[in-house]
Amino acid sequence: MEYLKSIDDPLTKINENNIIYFDLFDYPDLVFGNPFQTDKVNFCKYDENVQKEMEEEGGFVHKTMQQFKSCTCGNRIRFKTTSRRLILKVEFSEPYYHKNMLLYNSSGFDVYIIDDDGKYHNYSLIATKEGIRTFAKYIAIPPNSSVCIFLPNYCSIKRMLIGLDNGSKIYKLKYPKANELPILFYGNSITQGASASKSGNSFPNIVSRKLDNDIINLSMVTCCRGTPKTAEMIGNIKCKAIVIDYSRYAPNIEFLRNTHEKFYRKIREKHPDIKIIIMTAASFNEWKEYVAYDEVIIQTYENAIARGENTLLLNQSELFDYEDYDLVSIDIGHYTDYGMYKIADKLCELLTL
């Protein structure tokens, strides 16, 4: 790895002879997981209305939306290439690290090679030191590789250049036809990926690998508050299924009572038939308030079932043995990979029922 002052600097440690770079932002076809792609890559997953709604919430909510609206959680770069050399040059908008998160997650690039059977094999894991904004990394890859790179869960990328052997070819790597329609995730910091050990191990990303299905991950720390404009935005995104993990950022039980079912029903109006999975709160340290939160969430589910809707419930606390509660998450509910995989396995089971 080589740290840079500017992304346009020539490399001194990595051999870039006969390497041709292209600007990723000019190739939106290679980037998956953004609902508002145009002819340029747009990592911002929230429309103007939602951003305005969060601005009106003010304080920390507004600040968080500003910080994370273009963060690359759930985004993947996918391509097939004849090149045997790959150089990634990355400039973060702002480096990010957190006490409860590894750099391989918050600012990590988790690189997989996909075989002909659609199986993902982890190939390389890239992260900088704390505080580094711009870097380059060389990866040698087998010829004709199908590559999928899971992008950082808590950082935003300002610029990214991909270098390949001069004369090599690169193609968009689509999902199988039946799996092109994305599964949409809406949730909190846990669903965004904290505290997986690496960016590819948030449970939405694991689901995308296990099912080899496109996803859109609209989750964001603090801002998951079941707001009307968010429901409207989700209602307008064409998708195969929706996973709603809304609980912990409702500031109190009254707020959740007033918003949870409304939020669900507004989405359901626009998506009358698709599968919606509602998740209870991830709570593994007997935080008393979350018992009441779960009652509200389960009520939303039971009402949906009574109306005959295609809705399922994933009760997160019940999924794990009580004796494992200290192994599942690092605090109240931020899953270790052990927890992430169990949640992902259950979601895959529910999504393929």
State phi, psi for 190 to the nearest 5 degrees: -65, -45
List all residues 6 or more positions away from 32 whose beta carbon is below 8 Å from its beta carbon.
75, 76, 77, 78, 175, 214, 215
Nearer residue to other proteins within complex by CB, 3 or 60 = 3
Strand order across the 134-140 sheet: 2-3, 134-140, 85-92, 157-165, 19-23
Per-residue interface string for the shown chain with other proteins, residues 228-267, x marking contact by CB under 8 A: ----------------------------------------
**74 binds other proteins per the rule CB under 8 A:** no
Site residue total, other proteins (CB under 8 A): 43
Residue 289: CB minimum distance to other proteins, A: 7
Nearer residue to other proteins within complex by CB, 34 or 195 = 195
* Residue whose token pair is 């998740």: 279
DSSP letters, 147-179, are EEEEPPSS-BEEEEEEEEETT--EEE-PPPGGG
**Structure tokens, 10:** 């020539």
Closest CA relative to residue 281, chosen from 205, 348, 216, 343: 343
**127 binds other proteins per the rule CB under 8 A:** yes
Tell me which of 43, 46, 104, 246 binds other proteins, using CB under 8 A. 104
**108 binds other proteins per the rule CB under 8 A:** yes
Of residues 128-167, those binding other proteins (CB under 8 A):
128-129
Of residues 199-218, those binding other proteins (CB under 8 A):
200-201, 206, 209
**25 binds other proteins per the rule CB under 8 A:** no
**Structure tokens, 346:** 């259950």
Residue 269: CB minimum distance to other proteins, A: 36
Contact by Cβ (8 Å): 339, 329:
yes
The residues binding other proteins (CB under 8 A) are 97-104, 108, 120-122, 125, 127-129, 195, 197-198, 200-201, 206, 209, 284-289, 322-323, 325-327, 329-332, 336-338, 340-341
